[in-house]
Amino acid sequence: MWCQLIANGAGFAAILTLLLAAAGCGRTEQQAPPREPGRVDSVVAGTEFHAPVIAPPARLDTIIAIDLVPGGKPEYVVASIRPDSARPRTALADRLAFYRYDSSARAYTLALADSMLWAVRFETRDVTGDGAPDLVVFTDGAGTDAIATRGMIVYAASNGSIGRPLRLDHGRPAFGSAAPDGETTIFVYNELWPAFASHAQAVEYLDDILVYSEGAFASARAAWNAPLLLQADSALARYRRLRPQFRTDTLRPTDSMHAREGAAAAGGRDSVEAMPAGPHPLFTEAALVMISYGRGLRPERVRSFWRAEAEYLRGRIPAEQFAELESIQARMLGPQ
């Protein structure tokens, strides 16, 4: 069995000792003597764990007790953080130190040290399917683009030691619905953000499905693509609802976006309706249809959609947006 402890702020050592006893994580001992300042310990002597010294200007944030590698004393994860004006408000740590008990040395020794920008949330759950808890760390690299800056790290048992089967620093990974065989899935996202759109107009979409296999998380799209196909079908339904709303003569595909913007500014109901700011609604849904079928490994559906809709779209969306759809179609027909 494992237990989890979080200690923050001043006086963490005394709080740690008391809470460990209350949580049933082992008997308490007198706090070890102070160690040399400015040093991060690689060995913590004694059969009970005592928090190591954290070199300033870093400070201790969290201590987690978790039985990552079953069969002995629990491992301890010491999370520390340094001052940094760029870090997000929710940042908890930029370094994790994993301590394991060495029975021959009768001491806790540093088994793994890892850095990240920045850990913002910790979660313990079995994501590898071995029945033991794993440590999941959600990260945030700061910034307004969640797809570009938010990631996930998984720490788990690996051949009797601590491994890291997943490290992503982008894609806003999140736990998805279970695969048909019950495996835990991690959904990874991307965004449709063409050059002619602002970031506020970017559209997020599911891009990949990961499952744990042979020591690492890998794409499972070849075996289970149902969420991607559902995303494609939803985009196709929206596209079909939009389709009747646009007349054949709505746009002249040879016009540039700048020319269209100028015409819209000059007035005229049809010209204004014909020139939406940023991506045309038909562009967005058509792109999502082809991307989702492509990432879902259904190139024949990408090809069928494009054959049926290319000429219709050519006459209804700006030329540069049509060219982008052509590029998306070609990419989705290639290796995924």
Per-residue pLDDT tens for 51-94? 899 999 999 999 999 999 988 899 999 999 999 989 999 999 99
Instruction: Identify whether 5 is part of a domain.
Output: no
One domain for residues 27 and 124:
yes
Query: Domain tally for the chain?
Result: 2
- pLDDT at position 108 is 93
Task: Give the domain extent around 109.
Answer: 12-172
CA–CA distance, 79 with 66 (Å, rounded to integer): 13
- Is-cis flag, bond preceding 57, omega within 30? yes
Number of H helices, E strands in the chain: 8, 12
Q: pLDDT-derived band of residue 329, with 50, 70 and 90 as boundaries?
A: very high
Residue ending a domain, among 172, 200, 220, is 172
Q: What is the mean pLDDT of residues 289-294?
A: 98
The whole model's pTM is what? Answer: 0.80
- pLDDT at position 44 is 60
- pLDDT at position 46 is 61
Q: What is the mean pLDDT of residues 170-192?
A: 95
One domain for residues 146 and 239:
no
> Which pair of structure tokens corresponds to residue 172?
């806003």
- pLDDT at position 47 is 66
One domain for residues 81 and 165:
yes
CA–CA distance, 40 with 82 (Å, rounded to integer): 14
